[in-house]
Amino acid sequence: MTEIEPDPPSTLPPDPVAYDSPRAVRARQKGLKAPYIAGGNDPDPAAGLAEDRRYVRLLLIMATVIVASGFVIGTVIALIGPAGGR
């Protein structure tokens, strides 16, 4: 069986602007080979945290409404009971 040889990686010329970007500098300081740093730089973290708090509040309200509606529907069904079909 013959082996399939992978394509040789394309070699791009170095980009001096990308080399001096803040992400690339920070990646080199961390000892990384590539200028990828998970998370990036958030210019305004306060706005993101405020949005997260709003969505958490909305999530808790929605969960409470779903659970409470289950109790309400169960109570209504229990009160109607067997007389509901007559």
Question: In whole numbers, what is the pLDDT of the chain averaged over residues?
Answer: 82
- Distance between CA 68 and CA 85 in Å, rounded? 25
Q: Do residues 37 and 27 lie in contact, with contact meaning Cβ atoms separated by under 8 Å?
A: yes
> Which tops the pLDDT comparison, 24 or 65?
65
- Report which DSSP code applies to 55: H
- Phi-psi category of 31—alpha, beta or left, where left has phi over 0 and alpha has psi -120 to 50? left
Q: Do residues 18 and 35 lie in contact, with contact meaning Cβ atoms separated by under 8 Å?
A: yes
Q: Would you kindly state where each structural domain of the chain is located, as residue ranges? A: 12-41, 42-86
> Which tops the pLDDT comparison, 22 or 69?
69
